[in-house]
Amino acid sequence: MASRTEAIMARKGEIMKRALGMDYAEFEQSPIAFDYEGMMAAHGYSLEDITRIQRAGGVGDTPLLELRNLTDLVRSYSEPGHGARIFVKDEAANMAGSFKDRRASVSIHVAKEKGYAGVIAATSGNYGAAVSSQAARASLKCIICQEAFDSRHVGQPEIIEKSRICEAFGAEVVQMTVGPELFSHMLELLDATGYFAASLYSSFGVSGIETLGAELVRDMIGQTGKAPDYVIVTHAGGGNTTGTARGVRRAGAADTRIVSASVDLSGLHMASDTDFNRKSFTTGHTGFGVPFATWPDRADVPRNAARSLRYMDRYLTVSQGEVFYVTEAMSKLEGLERGPSGNTAMTAAMSLARDLPRDATIVVQETEYTGAGKHHWAQLNFAREMGVEVLSGDPATSVPGKTIVIPERPEQIRAKDFDMAKMRRSYVRNALAHAGEGYVPTAEDIEFLAADTNSDAAAVEKIIADL
Question: Residue 374: its pLDDT value, please?
Answer: 82
Q: What's the number of domains the chain is made of?
A: 3
SS3 sequence, 202-271? CHHHHHHHHHHHHHHHHHHHHHHCCCCCEEEEECCCCHHHHHHHHHHHHCCCCCCEEEEEEECCCCCCCC
What is the three-class DSSP state of 93?
helix
Question: Residue 37: its pLDDT value, please?
Answer: 97
Question: Residue 136: its pLDDT value, please?
Answer: 98
Do 190 and 273 lie in a common domain? Answer: no
Whole-angstrom Cα distance, residue 296 to residue 187? 18
Do 343 and 448 lie in a common domain? Answer: no
Question: Residue 300: its pLDDT value, please?
Answer: 86
Do 171 and 318 lie in a common domain? Answer: no
Question: Residue 329: its pLDDT value, please?
Answer: 96
Do 325 and 376 lie in a common domain? Answer: yes
How far is Cα of residue 233 from the mean position of the Cα atoms in its chain? 8
Question: Residue 148: its pLDDT value, please?
Answer: 87
Tell me the CB-side half-sphere exposure of residue 137, using CA atoms within 13 A: 21
Whole-angstrom Cα distance, residue 401 to residue 276? 9
Do 230 and 275 lie in a common domain? Answer: yes
Q: What is the CATH number of the domain that holds 189?
A: 3.40.50.1100
The answer to whether the CB of 102 falls within 8 A of the CB of 54 is yes
Give the 3-state secondary structure percentages of the chain, helix then strand then coil, rounded to 5: 50, 15, 35
Do 425 and 411 lie in a common domain? Answer: no
- CB-count burial class (<10 Å; 0-12, 13-18, 19+) for 255: exposed
Do 72 and 132 lie in a common domain? Answer: no
Whole-angstrom Cα distance, residue 107 to residue 113? 10
Which residues form the domain of 196?
2-53+99-203
Among 203, 225, 248, the domain-final residue is: 203
How high is the mean pLDDT in each 10-residue block of the chain (467 residues)?
A: 78 90 94 97 96 96 98 98 98 96 97 97 89 97 92 88 93 88 89 95 96 98 98 96 98 98 90 83 88 94 96 97 96 94 94 98 96 85 94 96 96 98 97 95 98 97 95
Question: Residue 99: its pLDDT value, please?
Answer: 96
Among 187, 203, 219, the domain-final residue is: 203
Dihedral over alpha carbons 54, 336, 257, 40 (to 10 degrees): -20
For residue 8, give the H/E element and its range.
helix 2-9
Among 176, 203, 230, the domain-final residue is: 203
Question: Residue 221: its pLDDT value, please?
Answer: 98
Do 398 and 310 lie in a common domain? Answer: yes
Do 177 and 88 lie in a common domain? Answer: no
Do 318 and 395 lie in a common domain? Answer: yes
Whole-angstrom Cα distance, residue 192 to residue 19? 11
37 contact partners, CB below 8 Å, separation of at least 6: none
Whole-angstrom Cα distance, residue 242 to residue 263? 18
Question: Residue 220: its pLDDT value, please?
Answer: 98
Question: Residue 125: its pLDDT value, please?
Answer: 80
Q: Which 8-state DSSP code applies to residue 367?
A: -
Q: Which 8-state DSSP code applies to residue 131?
A: H
The answer to whether the CB of 143 falls within 8 A of the CB of 120 is yes
Question: Residue 8: its pLDDT value, please?
Answer: 86
Do 376 and 451 lie in a common domain? Answer: no
Do 326 and 227 lie in a common domain? Answer: yes
Question: Residue 319: its pLDDT value, please?
Answer: 97
